[in-house]
Amino acid sequence: MKKILILSITAGNGHNACAQVMKNKLDKLGGCEVKIVDLLKEFSTPLKVWTSDTGYSLCVSRVLPIYNAFFNKYLKAKNYNRYKSPAQFSVLTTLNGLMQEILTYKPDVIFCTHFYCAIALTDLKLTYNLPCKTVTTCLDYLVSPFWESCIGVDYFNVSVDDLTPEILSEGFRPEQLIKFGIPVDGRTLEVKDKAATKKSLGLDEDVFTLTVMFGGGFWSGGLKIFKQAVKALKDKKAQLIMINGKCKKSFNKIKKMKFAENIKVVNVGFTDDVPLYLSASDAVVTKCGGLSTTEIINKRLPLIVTEKLPAQEQYNLKYLKSKGVAFSFKNAKELKAHVLRLMNDAEYLKQTVENAEPLRKPALDDLANFILSQPYADYTELDGQDIDTTKTKKAAKAAINAAHKKERANRNKKSR
């Protein structure tokens, strides 16, 4: 039976969600054993775990302009410094434990949902001849900082083909690129009867339905935007679905609200059935994370996106606006304008729905089948080396330094 090791980290919920849907899909396909490991929680320090999750959340909720400034700074980093990026120092502490995990579990394929994991594998492949295939995936509609440090993986799954030239310019080879798209819950590709789905949720079948979806985590503005949406529709017969995610505070506050007779509200807490609610929707007000927007696009729904976003989501928004599937708002007035136009202009809504079609991909199925198609790994040679994993970090640092010197030397030759 083929063994698949999935590496993720907790930095918000997206990377872990991707890991889980991939595990679920692989389990369903069968013929394999799948294990998920949180790279930092398992093999790093409590400080780095805190920094990647709570620290990130605090940055984008409290000091967003500073976070975005650093993001954009590193977006312009030179790829010949790939082996000395800040992300490299973040993953060094994981290498002893990760190498021990590989030697013990002996995976045939390692799948990564975050660049930290792919960097760690790149470092280990500089140090040892790993027999397993390594696959990583992009979860945004841009090439984020530090992907240039992941060039040691065997395969890099690209979100959209438009990114190919930029990815190649970072040092990846064409044969490393696979182009399946962002892997999300396969249920988002199912075509359900909208009227019947609305009815199953206690909604009127022929009434415009707007979903507001922000979840919990760092983004605390969902309740405010929900209220703005209610106000925008105060003179219209309409329906709202509020998906609060893990934000119990907003769920409880909405539960106590009274609404006019012309507005029907479905108030949802945390749910694993987002595709069902999307199937009942006509448009979605949301942030612009790569996974959630892909789910919405798969359901062929217009996105109405707040402009208060961390930098990676700003780039996602820019790309999706260029494809005619997303609209942005800075304030309640602009939100109202987008909602009412989609509600009142059937042709405009239809065109936006049609624009989503070319972006829909069965990414989860294709990527899972690709992973299962990889050969079995032979660990005979590696086992024969009697590797002391307590010294892996030290050995990797030497290999990284050597690779950095080689990269800089090649750069100097080209500049002459």
What's the pLDDT tens digit per position in 331-361? 999 999 999 999 999 999 999 999 999 999 9
- Asked if the model's pLDDT at residue 9 lies above 80, the reply is yes
Residues 215 and 142 in one domain: no
Would you place residue 399 in the very low, low, confident or very high pLDDT band (cuts 50, 70, 90)?
A: very high
pLDDT of residue 245: 85
Q: How many domains does the chain have?
A: 2
pLDDT of residue 396: 96
Give the domain extent around 95: 2-181+364-415
DSSP strand E in 120-208: where?
A: 133-137, 155-157, 177-178
Residues 264 and 327 in one domain: yes
Q: Which residue has the tokens 């992300």?
A: 87
pLDDT of residue 270: 87
pLDDT digits (tens, 9 = 90+) for 187-238: 999 999 999 999 999 999 999 999 999 865 555 578 999 999 999 999 999 9
Residue 119 CB contacts under 8 Å (≥ 6 apart), including other chains: 87, 88, 91, 146, 149, 150
pLDDT digits (tens, 9 = 90+) for 10-61: 987 899 999 999 999 999 999 999 999 999 999 999 999 999 988 988 898 8
Residues 223 and 146 in one domain: no
Residues 241 and 125 in one domain: no
Residues 355 and 388 in one domain: no
Give which of 376, 374, 399 is closest to 95, Cα–Cα: 399
pLDDT of residue 219: 53
pLDDT of residue 413: 74
Burial of 277 (0-12, 13-18, 19+ CB in 10 A): buried
Residues 209 and 136 in one domain: no
pLDDT, the chain, mean: 94
Cα 271 to Cα 269: distance, rounded to the nearest angstrom: 6
Residues 279 and 349 in one domain: yes
Cα 75 to Cα 79: distance, rounded to the nearest angstrom: 10
Residues 111 and 246 in one domain: no
What CATH number should be reported for the domain holding residue 21? 3.40.50.2000
Task: Please give the single-letter amino acid code of residue 258.
Answer: K
Last residue of a domain, one of 360, 385, 405: 360
Q: Three-class SS of residue 289?
A: coil
- The angle, 0 to 180 degrees and rounded to 10, between the axes of the packed helices 346-356 and 332-344 is 100
pLDDT of residue 43: 97
Residues 69 and 143 in one domain: yes
Handedness of CA 178, 184, 185, 189 (dihedral sign): negative
pLDDT of residue 412: 77
Residues 127 and 141 in one domain: yes
pLDDT of residue 78: 87
- Asked if the model's pLDDT at residue 320 lies above 80, the reply is yes
Residues 145 and 226 in one domain: no
Last residue of a domain, one of 360, 384, 399: 360
- Residue ranges in 142-289 assigned as alpha helix (H): 164-169, 194-200, 222-232, 248-255, 274-279
pLDDT digits (tens, 9 = 90+) for 140-163: 999 999 999 999 999 999 999 999
Residues 306 and 376 in one domain: no
Give which of 284, 247, 315 is closest to 61, Cα–Cα: 247
Last residue of a domain, one of 324, 341, 360: 360
